Amino acid sequence: MTRLADAVHTWRKVLAGAGIVVLVSLGGADLAAQEQPSRIPQAATPAVATGPAGATAPEAVAPEPAGPGGDNAAASAEGTKKTGFVGLPIPIANPTLQQGLALVGAALYHLGQDAPASMTGVGALYTSTKSWGYGLIQKVYTSHDRWRITAGALRLKLNLRFYGIGANPGPDDPYLPFSLDGKVYGAQVLRSLGKHAYLGAGYIYLSNTTAFDFKNGLPEAPPGDLGLEQSVAVLSLPFLWDTRDNLLNPKQGNYLNVTAILSDPGIGSDVTFQQYRFGYNHYARLNDRMVLAVRGTACDTRDRAPFYLLCTLGAGDGLRGFPTEVYWSGSTAAGVAEWRWSFAGRWGMVAFAGAGATGRKITDLKLDDVVPSYGAGIRFMMAKDYGVNIGIDYGRSHGRDAIYFRVGEAF
């Protein structure tokens, strides 16, 4: 899922950023406010982080847990005696929602032996596109990290741009302004299959109104189904495998996410479609200060999905430099490599290059019309003991450019 998922994941990552501040301040070693609470080295002296966190590019609908949190049993056991609270403003910067601010509040606590930190959070955001949203989230982690349960509700209105489907428009091509105004409810359950693997199921229900502004006319490829009023129900079935050594700033390891997304009237949806997502990351430590990170993704949509839930580039694939609503298509594939260098104390930089392709079907990708992406960014490690970076990226693509503020890395 794409634009809707952008807002959902932006809001969730904002809350996760607040959770990182709490956990680092408490000296917790698992950073469990994120999707992957595990394998963060335990520090002898906790670092207190007071800098802001931020929103990152969204991943797929399913969250991406890493392996079990048992490696930090001592810290988790100590954390059972502590509950942390935080409330803070967090900046937002990306080319889809543009510039804005989020206000968040979160409480983090442990519910069992060797359990990563559970979280209860609330948040609201507003951006320069007059997009807004507010909601709440609950994340529960049981003893020994055997079960992970996430539930949430979100009210939002997004003001976006429609360039057509599969059109690969340029930066000066016409677009059709539109808004998504809806409510989202969802839950997901994941079960550990072993040291590095999880299998689960999730359900998301969206009640949405889509409104178009036709003052400037239509683009060349208007959507076949405008979906002015729709209820969309989605069942997600994720499989996850993760051997990374650090969830926010990996130095080595692999990460695999394979997710099937199904929508059908039988589960309460007005539409019928299927979407299949694949993502694989590899991290190689070049030396004590340099890391090479590589990510490959693919997405394929079947049947008649609403246009705002089609596959797209720039949504969790690591490509940067353009709004994600530019490249809606039935199928996409992308690859990107990023060089990461810690050059002085807490300061570092990244340089990235990649490309993506779109097509009606996964077997019909436009390989002769790929979308380039390249750029660089600066990083500051706000919590050195846990590898928590904040940073700003600058990306370019086909005459476009964009600025991103983020917590952690792009992938």
Q: Where are the domains of the chain?
A: 3-407
pLDDT, the chain, mean: 78
Q: Read off the tokens for 331.
A: 């199928």
Terminal-to-terminal C-alpha distance of the chain? 18
- Looking at this protein, which amino acid is placed at residue 148? R
Q: Categorize the per-residue pLDDT at 214 as very low, low, confident or very high, splitting at 50, 70 and 90.
A: confident
| Cα-based distances in Å from 74 to 42, 79, 115, 222, 268 | 9, 8, 10, 56, 44
By residue count, the chain amounts to 411
3-state secondary structure of 10: helix
**CB-based contact 311:2 (threshold 8 Å):** yes
Q: How many other CB atoms are found less than 10 A from the CB of residue 105?
A: 16
- Of 189-193, 215-219, 282-286, the poorest mean pLDDT is in 215-219
Average pLDDT over residues 179-199: 92
pLDDT exceeds cutoff 80 at 339: yes
- Between CA 370 and CA 327 the distance in angstroms is 11
pLDDT of residue 274: 96
CB of 162 within 8 A of CB of 175? yes
Contact 145, 70 (CB under 8 A): yes
**Which of the residue ranges 13-27, 121-135, 199-213, 377-391 would you say has the lowest mean pLDDT?**
13-27
Say yes or no: domain 3-407 is CATH 3.20.190.10. no
Closest CA to 242 of 255, 257, 251, 258: 255
Please compute the mean of the pLDDT values over residues 85-103 and round it to a whole number: 83
Bridge partners, 180 (sequence order) = 158, 210
Q: Quote the pLDDT of residue 386.
A: 62
pTM tops 0.85, yes or no: no
Q: For position 304, what pLDDT does the model report?
A: 86
Question: What distance in Å separates the CA atoms of residue 283 and residue 262, rounded to the nearest whole number?
Answer: 31
Place of tokens 């846990």: 386
pLDDT at residue 30 is higher than 90: no
Site of tokens 């490696």: 71
